[in-house]
Structure 1
Amino acid sequence: MPDTATADAAEAPVVDIDTQAFWRDPYPDLARMRATAPVVRVPQLGALLITRRDDIFEQEKRVETFSSFQPEGLMTKLMGENMMRKDGAAHRAERKATFPALSPRTVRDTWRAQFEAAAACILDDLAPRGAADLVADYARPVSGEALKAITGLTNMTWTEMDRVSQGMIDGCANYAGDPQVEANCHDCTASIDRHIDAMIPVLEAAPDTSLLSVQLQAGLSDAQTRANVKLAISGGQNEPRDAIAGAAWALMTHPGQLEMIRRGAATWEQGFEEYARWISPIGMSPRRVAREDAVGGIRVEAEARAFLMFGSGNRDERVWTDPDRYDITRYTTRSLAFGAGPHFCAGAAAARTLIAEVALPMLFERLPGLRLAGEVPFGGWAFRGPLKMPVAW
């Protein structure tokens, strides 16, 4: 039931933004939105934004109103209708079919050793150089090699994995309708399809626990299988890449907290989880308003586009003390970094293992004296991370 009768609900107040400034740093505008109302309308994004943590947590579960089914949404049009764009039984069936590739047991028994081997090779190459761009030279290949294994697209280079992931991310955030961005996204999805075509006979002959293989074994349709592999690539490359580099940056800029981890007073997992709250790599998730309803006394009209702003909820002053501060001792259980409800990130176990158990500890162990060697620009609000990170050791 709506928390307020729609007949008595007020219209969502309008909050205008400068889209370029919002991309560079969304947090001042998000704080203004949280202070204004539970739901605000942002004309520049063509959407209703839900920005307070508890509202996001509650409304994400109310799929009868905030539906993931978005046949006209950018993700569906560009990548196919994956399980993230389904609700109820259809979503549960596909999630169950993909679970063997992403379960905590599979991550522990199969993927972790492969993550470690790939990171070791990358660090063997990096260590003698003494300087690098941590985003391009470490976070990108570590994330890409991990995703090759998980998806089953071992015939794809990590550079192509990174390219096609970024192209799809850009396409799904292309609310301005830039035709060049859309064309590049189509080129990226076509590349993924070619790599899938080449791997299907290989995995049919020798099944394994990769995402492509377990879907073939479960009998999902070709369209379902391809859409879910593309979903995994869109979310499984950029976000771990951004979190690996970003969490390393957070620890280098907070040396006292890095020292806590090194002496055993805190863990790498705490360093990662707090970073994912503080600068959410996945900043929002779109929904279609399936029926007229109300949130906190604000009307949401049927067929409107709504954004659940995870990056805002993770800095909600109602929930977090001093939310703009990075503090690895913070209790982060209420973080929305991996979403909430039925669409909680299916790859959470893989991401936590890759970042907190492999990429971060191996990085600081193998590159002694690791330090920043220049400015680190950040960008994005739907997806956010460091654009480059010059380092030396």
Structure 2
Amino acid sequence: MSTAPVYEIDHARFWADPYPDLARMRAGTPIAFVPQLNATLFTRRDAIFECEKNIAVFSSEQPGGLMTALMGENMMRKDGEAHLAERKQMFPAVSPRTVRDRWTAQFREDAQRILDQLAPRGAADLTVDYAMPVSANALRALTGLTSMTPAELDGSSQAMIDGCANYIGDPAVEKRCNRATALIDAHIDRAVPLKEAAPDHSILSVLMQAGQPLSQIRANIKLAISGGQNEPRDAIAGAAWALLSHPEQLALVKKGEVGWDRVFAEYVRWMSPIGMSPRRVARAFEYEGVRFAPEERVFFMFGAANRDPAHFDAPDRFDITRDASAHIAFGAGPHFCAGAWASKALVAEVALPMLFARLKGLRLNGAAKIGGWAFRGPLNAPVAWDAG
């Protein structure tokens, strides 16, 4: 283990709300070894911003890591040229231009259909009934796995992210993850001949056109699903819930004084849907007085970095009027999320503005439950509106 000071957590409490522990670590032991996670956690933004780029020491290559073992060695678990090559192969499917010209209209069409179905009901759970299918339909199109139902895709994503965060080794969690990856493989096998006959802009198709081996395509599709479903799903439901909980800020948006892009940026800063990224120590290293040995595990805690008071005033406060541009919710180094443009378009240009425009009198209809530390978001978000 590293020579970092030891910080003990209660795992259940940390899952329910990691921010108090992260604040104490950031203030007193900004690099801390947490025995319950068997990892050394970085909690200050500047240290994470610097060290995430130092791939010679803090490597994404983790042959024995949970993600690699459960989902295959995707491009997130590669560094340098190997990572860059696969990232370039995926780029045509998720580039800003492709998102603008190809995907955004599809996102709007799907969101409109879901809202038309919801509108007469007068009440729903935003997470389950709106954010989940909106995000899942977008991801079905992006990946090319249109034979998966939204529920299958959402369930597979959740099972995989639970598996990747299963640091306590729960066998039931691992079993669910294995079932999910097998289901995705079956849908990939079904889609491959269709994409061979009619290539398109989907991730599956562009990776096939680039000549990526099928085993690698499987791993990268699973990567796209594991992060590409929960992050926009949780940002849609979470940002809507946050605005409804802060009506004075919602009023600023409705008046046009604050744009939806700033709502999105502040939400992913305040409640980072992807709360951390793991790294393997590749060689002996010392940083800020802490010595690291090869093969140790490090967690860069994005959720802690995004509430660092050195960069954000009153960081625990949701405030869409602040400048949140210093957030690193999508990473800070060479592994900056490839799907960031698609996520921003889906959430800030489509899902949120269409939701508030379509459902008149949208309001909270009960308490929301928030959970998770590696991946965090609303488990439910009950709302009501004026049906008709």
TM-score, scaled to structure 1: 0.97
Unmatched 5+ residue regions in structure 2? none
2:148 is the counterpart of 1:159: no
2:366 is the counterpart of 1:374: yes
- How many Å separate the matches in 2 of 1:339 and 1:192? 26
- How many Å separate the matches in 2 of 1:264 and 1:116? 20
SS in structure 2 of the partner of residue 45 of structure 1: coil
Matched residues, percent identical? 65
SS in structure 2 of the partner of residue 78 of structure 1: helix
1:224 CA displacement: 1.0
- How many Å separate the matches in 2 of 1:143 and 1:269? 17
Mean Cα displacement is larger for which, 33-42 or 345-354?
33-42
SS in structure 2 of the partner of residue 299 of structure 1: strand
Instruction: Quote the residue 2:291 is aligned against.
Output: 299
Matched pairs, number: 384
- Amino acid of the structure 2 residue aligned with 1:160: E
Mean Cα displacement is larger for which, 297-306 or 198-207?
297-306
2:317 is the counterpart of 1:325: yes
1:38 CA displacement: 3.2
Instruction: Quote the residue 1:256 is aligned against.
Output: 248
Instruction: Quote the residue 1:280 is aligned against.
Output: 272
- Amino acid of the structure 2 residue aligned with 1:188: A
- How many Å separate the matches in 2 of 1:275 and 1:337? 10
1:342 CA displacement: 0.2
- Alignment partner of 1:390 out of 382, 385, 388: 382
- Amino acid of the structure 2 residue aligned with 1:180: A
Structural mapping, 1:131-280, within 5 Å: 131-280=123-272
- Amino acid of the structure 1 residue aligned with 2:332: A
- Amino acid of the structure 1 residue aligned with 2:367: E
- How many Å separate the matches in 1 of 2:290 and 2:105? 49
SS in structure 2 of the partner of residue 294 of structure 1: strand
The answer on whether the counterparts of 1:240 and 1:351 sit within 8 Å (CA) in structure 2 is yes
- How many Å separate the matches in 1 of 2:177 and 2:138? 22
The answer on whether the counterparts of 2:356 and 2:362 sit within 8 Å (CA) in structure 1 is yes
2:74 is the counterpart of 1:82: yes
- Alignment partner of 1:114 out of 92, 106, 111: 106
1:13 CA displacement: 0.3
- Alignment partner of 2:83 out of 73, 76, 91: 91
- How many Å separate the matches in 2 of 1:337 and 1:271? 14
- How many Å separate the matches in 2 of 1:37 and 1:66? 19
- Amino acid of the structure 1 residue aligned with 2:352: L
- Amino acid of the structure 2 residue aligned with 1:308: F
The answer on whether the counterparts of 1:168 and 1:185 sit within 8 Å (CA) in structure 2 is yes
Deviations 1:146-198 (A, max 9, x none): 00000000111111000100010110011111111111100000000000000
SS in structure 2 of the partner of residue 41 of structure 1: strand
Deviations 1:233-258 (A, max 9, x none): 00000111001000001110111111
The answer on whether the counterparts of 2:94 and 2:338 sit within 8 Å (CA) in structure 1 is yes
1:11 CA displacement: 2.1
- How many Å separate the matches in 2 of 1:305 and 1:96? 28
SS in structure 2 of the partner of residue 342 of structure 1: coil
Instruction: Quote the residue 1:43 is aligned against.
Output: 35
Instruction: Quote the residue 1:6 is aligned against.
Output: none
- How many Å separate the matches in 2 of 1:279 and 1:267? 19
- Amino acid of the structure 2 residue aligned with 1:115: F
SS in structure 1 of the partner of residue 280 of structure 2: strand
- Amino acid of the structure 1 residue aligned with 2:372: G
2:347 is the counterpart of 1:362: no
The answer on whether the counterparts of 1:370 and 1:392 sit within 8 Å (CA) in structure 2 is yes
The answer on whether the counterparts of 1:38 and 1:295 sit within 8 Å (CA) in structure 2 is no
Runs of 4+ with deviation above 2 angstroms: none
Instruction: Quote the residue 1:54 is aligned against.
Output: 46
- How many Å separate the matches in 1 of 2:384 and 2:191? 39
Unmatched 5+ residue regions in structure 1? 1-9
Instruction: Quote the residue 1:5 is aligned against.
Output: none
The answer on whether the counterparts of 1:242 and 1:385 sit within 8 Å (CA) in structure 2 is yes
Deviations 1:22-43 (A, max 9, x none): 0001000001111123310000
Mean Cα displacement is larger for which, 329-338 or 61-70?
329-338
- Amino acid of the structure 2 residue aligned with 1:319: H
2:340 is the counterpart of 1:340: no
2:277 is the counterpart of 1:290: no
- How many Å separate the matches in 2 of 1:30 and 1:282? 15
- Alignment partner of 2:60 out of 59, 68, 74: 68
- How many Å separate the matches in 2 of 1:88 and 1:54? 22
- How many Å separate the matches in 2 of 1:168 and 1:333? 30
- Alignment partner of 1:19 out of 6, 11, 18: 11
2:345 is the counterpart of 1:353: yes
Q: 1:316 to 1:34 in 2, by over 3 A?
A: same
1:331 CA displacement: 1.0
- Amino acid of the structure 2 residue aligned with 1:247: A
Instruction: Quote the residue 1:313 is aligned against.
Output: 305
1:334 CA displacement: 1.0
Deviations 1:22-81 (A, max 9, x none): 000100000111112331000011100000000000000000000000000000000000
The answer on whether the counterparts of 1:38 and 1:296 sit within 8 Å (CA) in structure 2 is no
SS in structure 2 of the partner of residue 325 of structure 1: coil
SS in structure 1 of the partner of residue 286 of structure 2: strand
